[in-house]
């Protein structure tokens, strides 16, 4: 099956689910408001600039998960989906996913946002599979650590290649949709790279390389 690969934040969603989860925790009073807000803002700016230390960020973003049971976290995530994520879902993105599905393509999400945040979003969007940073769970509780390679920048290519080896899927005829300069390693790997509401760096490169640049904004 032809792979149709999608970034999540800023691509299929009109905003950033990782940043929104941090905002959600702040608004619900579940973290130290000022400290967490300032750090969340700083990491988000570093991501946009292409300078984010993914390991430092994941240590920060996964730490709150250690304070709750899985049942509590599932309840929080359900509320998060309704209050933060669903307003970021886009009709044009849903139409694009439907188009690829109708072509018989395999819908694969690859995101740098951890799997606790993104698995339910992937399910809601009807993806066939998701590759995301995997939070470690021991005895039913999140430890705040990550398992394996985070799917960020070159790590997206590493994780994808591992998945290809495991599943036997092929990159022949593949698509990848992304908004971010951070995804250049994977955009350069696929058959059909597509910029989506891209940042300035990716917009310029897409123009130089004659890549399609589309908008999914409603």
Residues designated catalytic: 7, 9
Chain position carrying tokens 């951070």: 182
Residue 130 region, left (φ>0) first, then alpha (ψ -120 to 50), else beta? beta
In this structure, which long-range contacts are made by residues 59-64, counting pairs with CB atoms below 8 Å and at least 24 apart in sequence? 59/144, 59/145, 61/18, 61/21, 61/22, 61/114, 62/114, 62/116, 62/135, 62/142, 62/144, 62/145, 62/146, 63/144, 64/25, 64/30, 64/31
Helical (H) or strand (E) element with 120: helix 115-125
């Amino acid at each position: 099956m032809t792979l149709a690969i999608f970034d999540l934040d800023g691509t299929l969603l009109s905003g950033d689910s990782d940043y929104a989860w941090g905002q959600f925790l702040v608004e619900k009073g579940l973290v130290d408001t000022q400290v967490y807000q300032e750090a969340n803002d700083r990491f988000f700016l570093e991501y946009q600039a292409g300078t984010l230390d993914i390991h430092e960020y994941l240590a920060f973003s996964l730490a709150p998960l250690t304070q709750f049971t899985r049942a509590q976290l599932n309840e929080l995530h359900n509320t998060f989906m309704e209050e933060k994520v669903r307003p970021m879902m886009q009709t044009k993105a849903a139409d694009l996913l439907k188009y690829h599905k109708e072509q018989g393509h395999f819908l694969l999400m690859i995101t740098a946002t951890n799997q606790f945040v993104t698995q339910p979003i992937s399910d809601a969007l009807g993806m066939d599979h998701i590759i995301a940073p995997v939070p470690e769970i021991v005895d039913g509780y999140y430890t705040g650590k990550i398992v394996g390679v985070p799917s960020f920048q070159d790590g997206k290519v590493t994780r994808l290649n591992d998945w290809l080896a495991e599943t036997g899927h092929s990159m022949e005829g593949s698509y990848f949709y992304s908004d971010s300069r951070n995804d250049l390693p994977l955009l350069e790997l696929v058959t059909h790279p597509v910029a989506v509401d891209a940042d300035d760096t990716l917009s310029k490169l897409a123009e130089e390389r004659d890549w399609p640049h589309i908008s999914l904004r409603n």
